[in-house]
Amino acid sequence: MHRRPILAVFSMQIRLMRWEPTIPRAGPCLAVEQVHPSGCHRAPIVDVELVLSCEHASAAVPEGLEPTIPWDVLQSHRGWDPGAADVALALGAAFGVTPILGRVTRLLVDLNRSADNPRATSSVARTLAAEAREQLHREHHATHWRAVEQAIACRTCVLHVSVHSFTPTLRGKARAMDIGLLYDPRRASELRVACRWQSLLRGEGLHVARNAPYRGVSDGITRGMRRRFGVERYAGLELELNQRLLSQGTFGQPLISAIRRTLSAILESEMHPCGGSQAP
């Protein structure tokens, strides 16, 4: 008998009703000071706002497609990112932001792949009729990416944090880090934020790696948004949490509090998440 994991805050539904996202509430508006080359500070010039998303928040299967994937496979890490939605929701509550949550299992549509990436459509989905595949992409992939894009487009300067979790081992190789921060090192703003966040999280006693266990420039939601928005208004990081730290399907409050405190310090500092140069 398979038991469903007990999830705090976020309750997974296997039957998925039609869902239309709304643009999330704005996060904290923080005045950022411009630093002149001379080192002198000028008056605040822009507000920085937080956008939260979680692409693999759910293992839900749209109504009518339930028999296509076994329940135990859906509940595994192959079906979703356990615990990630809880963290996104907790951060959203702390910062006054409505996270944009994926509403379908990645065993059908991977929301952290661009639409033209063949891996966005799973092997299971490829067995479906063309009309069913198009509907999945239209109602889930396109809807999710549009919601994230709209949340960024209506703001002047955005720090986008996409929350994920990863397995402790892959192909027999252990992943020692507690947290991974994925970013594009060619974007000076993302590099600054990643280095600072890593330092703060290490101060909380956590083992933090940058651009591990995956590369921050690989195809995904943040890379897609970088292509839409320039460095002057967008910085995107993926926050990867080791599933080794899960307890009864959720990440503990001490870890969530450490992430909240350190992210708050990033947002409240004079560090400008937007702007900066990009290597050719």
User: How would you write the pLDDT of the chain (280 residues) with one tens digit per residue?
Assistant: 444 443 333 333 323 333 334 445 444 433 333 333 333 333 344 578 999 999 999 999 999 888 789 999 999 999 999 999 999 999 999 999 999 999 999 999 999 999 999 999 988 899 899 999 999 999 999 999 999 999 999 999 999 999 999 999 988 888 999 999 999 999 999 999 999 999 999 999 999 999 999 999 999 999 999 999 999 999 999 999 999 999 999 999 999 999 999 999 999 885 667 766 665 5
Side-chain-facing half-sphere of 82: CA atoms under 13 Å? 23
On whether the CB atoms of residues 79 and 59 are closer than 8 A, the answer is yes
For Cα atoms 62, 76, 136, give the angle at the middle one, nearest 5 degrees: 25
CATH superfamily of 18-268: Zn-dependent exopeptidases (3.40.630.40)
Rounded to the nearest 5 percent, the helix, strand and coil shares of the chain are: 35, 20, 45
For residue 233 the two structure tokens come to 């208004």
- The Cα 104–Cα 87 span in angstroms is 18
Closest CA to 175 of 136, 220, 204, 208: 208
Could you tell me the pTM of the whole model?
A: 0.83
Amino acid residing at 5: P
Q: From CA 79, how far away is CA 108, in angstroms rounded?
A: 9
89, 96 contact by CB (below 8 A): no
Domain ranges of the chain: 18-268
Find the helix or strand (DSSP H, E) in which 254 lies. Answer: helix 253-268
